[in-house]
Amino acid sequence: MAQKPKVDPHVGRLGYLQALVTEFQETESQDAKEQVLANLANFAYDPSNYPYLRQLQVLDLFLDSLSEENETLVEFAIGGLCNLCPDRANKEHILQTGGIPLIINCLSSPNEETVLSAVTTIMYLSSPGSGSPPELTAMPVVQCMLRFSLSANTRLRNLAQIFLEDFCSPSQVAEARTWQAHSALGIPLPRTEAPQQPRPRETSQP
């Protein structure tokens, strides 16, 4: 288990968060980065922390971390954004800084928690009707949600069905179904949703 960040909780909320951000930027340890990002994502649950997190540019830190090869960092980063984007100011920042493509890319993650957070984040960023950025209901996203709506994972299936019903028009869903019928391509399901392949038996050497 990764150790907790070495910061003093008595320096005040802003000082504590600043110390976390500094540690994330300075440490070379992937374990320490994961622990710090997990802490920042947890702080994003509390709306009273939003002004501090915006001041410290934690939203940009989360967005930048979505491009990391480390799947754990991506999971915590999209989890943090998911916690932050119900707030209008945070939502606007994500939309204005080009965060949508980075978040959509998370739909193809092999990590199921990352995908769940990405779907939820897209729903928070969307507005029922015609008020959403068009990228959020582009054909690849709608096709992806159609596939997720058939997932064995109940949470993922339910979220995808809500997205299709509340944020997509019937014509968009119908068009996506037509495209799927003619193409096997699309955003893959998370790794845990893929059928398990039998492992070859190990043979002992004489």
Task: Quote the pLDDT of residue 131.
Answer: 67
3-state secondary structure of 201: coil
Evaluate whether residue 46 is within a structural domain. Answer: yes
What's the total number of domains in the chain? 1
133 vs 135: CA distance, rounded Å: 6
* Residue 28, domain extent: 11-176
Evaluate whether residue 22 is within a structural domain. Answer: yes
Evaluate whether residue 204 is within a structural domain. Answer: no
DSSP per residue, 145-198: HHHHTT-S-HHHHHHHHHHHHHHS-HHHHHHHHHHHHT---SPPPPGGGSPPPP
- One digit per residue, the tens of pLDDT, for the chain of length 206 reads 444 555 555 568 999 999 999 999 999 999 999 999 999 999 999 999 999 999 999 999 999 999 999 999 999 999 999 999 999 999 999 999 999 999 999 999 999 999 999 999 999 999 766 567 899 999 999 999 999 999 999 999 999 999 999 999 999 999 998 887 655 445 555 655 444 444 444 444 44
Evaluate whether residue 184 is within a structural domain. Answer: no
Evaluate whether residue 23 is within a structural domain. Answer: yes
Write out the two tokens for 151: 């997932």
* Residues 34/40/45/51 CA torsion (nearest 10 deg): -160
What is the reported pTM? Answer: 0.82
Write out the two tokens for 58: 């934690």
Evaluate whether residue 34 is within a structural domain. Answer: yes
Evaluate whether residue 198 is within a structural domain. Answer: no
DSSP 48: G
Evaluate whether residue 194 is within a structural domain. Answer: no
DSSP 122: H
